[in-house]
Structure 1
């Protein structure tokens, strides 16, 4: 039985995870962490420092401000953690690296298997197009999403830059009357509206031809399922920094 602590238990993803975990006999939620605790089938604490239950792994879909405390606790207690929260700043990203020296940390800007396979595909096709094609990324999300651009858009942009000889400069949206739009720039554009779970398009525009690679999330289940795969994966690890690429490759 894998004993899970859900950080962000009362959020949208926390609720989805509860539903999916309830369908898997080998998984159980022993506690939740949420800044707005409420009644549940398990205790919910405002801070992980209040945790009394024994656990095997933490799954975090919370708020970027909550991540440093989670990492400090998990690092001290040698408790594996899946960080699925987006909008992390450089300080939090450095803290992830530090924590991975003491416990197993799984971090991905997107927990979808499809998105991460898309990132791998991008690394394959970008290099031959570098000298003639502009690259732009358009991402769409629901109107409740606070951060822009999405962590996934940056994940895909980084995949592009890993494949090119000369890293591209990220341009967040475009405006102005005298733009040159050189190949050295990579435009990232954020759309927010309605209840869109998430859509990402990587557009390659060259002389007389266009290539578009699009991933559309039809529900939040895909992110929760990915997080559960990650939790199972790192629950047997002692230390180290892991991501979806390593999970896919079985490393």
Structure 2
């Protein structure tokens, strides 16, 4: 049995995570953390510091502004933590690195299995194509998403740059009449509308041929499921630093 605390339990992903946990007999939601309160079958607190329930792991789907404090409190309580919140600042990412030397900590800008397999594919094809192909990324999300471009788009861009012989300069959208669009630029374009859970397309465009890699999230359930797999992973591994695993390497 895995006992879980959910930070941001009343947010969209927090509620999705509740459903996933409640559907499984081997998982228990022992406490939630949120700024608001609702009637629930589990106790809800304002911060992890107030939680006295025994837990095996904390899963965070909250807001960037609360992540640093949560991680500090996880270190104090020696609790493993899965950080699934996106849009983290460089300062917060550095704090994750420091905390990972003390507690098991898993972080990815995207928890879906498909995205992480996509990263593997991009890193295999990029070295063969980068000299002759422009590379562009288009990401689409719902109209409630605050950050742009998405953390996943930047994760994909970084994964490409990590294996590129000539590092790409990121161009966030394109405008103007004098653009030269050289091969050493990588355009990253954000679309916001409706209820799109998430769609990412990586385009390799050469002379007379185009290769596209596309991932579409049809529901938020894939992210909740991925976060639970991450929680199970660090609980079984009990490593003090799992940030060096490929899926958990800190990306933007």
Matches within 5 A, 1:132-151: 132-151=132-151
The answer to whether 1:125 aligns with 2:115 is no
Question: Which residue matches 1:229?
Answer: 229
**Cα deviation code 1:36-66 (max 9, x no counterpart):** 1222110111111111111100000000001
The answer to whether 1:155 aligns with 2:155 is yes
Does the Cα contact within 8 Å between 1:7 and 1:59 map onto a contact in 2?
yes
Question: Which residue matches 2:41?
Answer: 41
Structure 1 unaligned residues grouped into runs of 5+ = none
**Cα deviation code 1:139-192 (max 9, x no counterpart):** 000000001110100110011101111110111111111111110000000000
| Cα separation, partners in 2 of 1:23 and 1:244, compared to 1, 3 Å | farther
* Secondary structure class of the residue paired with 1:163: coil
CA–CA separation in structure 1 for the residues paired with 2:247 and 2:13: 23
Does the Cα contact within 8 Å between 2:60 and 2:84 map onto a contact in 1?
yes
Question: Which residue matches 1:81?
Answer: 81
**After the TM superposition, which parts of structure 1 deviate over 6 Å for at least 4 consecutive aligned residues?**
none
Q: TM-score, normalised by structure 1?
A: 0.96
CA–CA separation in structure 2 for the residues paired with 1:154 and 1:60: 20
- Report deviation, 1:132: 0.5
- Report deviation, 1:242: 3.2
Structure 2 unaligned residues grouped into runs of 5+ = none
CA–CA separation in structure 1 for the residues paired with 2:110 and 2:244: 10
CA–CA separation in structure 1 for the residues paired with 2:180 and 2:108: 33
- Relative to structure 2, which stretch is displaced further, 36-45 or 61-70? 36-45
Q: How many residues align?
A: 247
Question: Which residue matches 1:191?
Answer: 191
The answer to whether 1:32 aligns with 2:32 is yes
| Cα separation, partners in 2 of 1:200 and 1:246, compared to 1, 3 Å | closer
CA–CA separation in structure 1 for the residues paired with 2:34 and 2:169: 37
Question: Which residue matches 1:241?
Answer: 242
Does the Cα contact within 8 Å between 1:107 and 1:243 map onto a contact in 2?
no
* Secondary structure class of the residue paired with 1:159: helix
* Secondary structure class of the residue paired with 1:82: strand
- Report deviation, 1:23: 1.4
Question: Which residue matches 1:170?
Answer: 170
**Cα deviation code 1:46-91 (max 9, x no counterpart):** 1111111111000000000010011001112211000000010011
| Cα separation, partners in 2 of 1:67 and 1:3, compared to 1, 3 Å | same
CA–CA separation in structure 2 for the residues paired with 1:88 and 1:220: 20
CA–CA separation in structure 1 for the residues paired with 2:40 and 2:243: 31
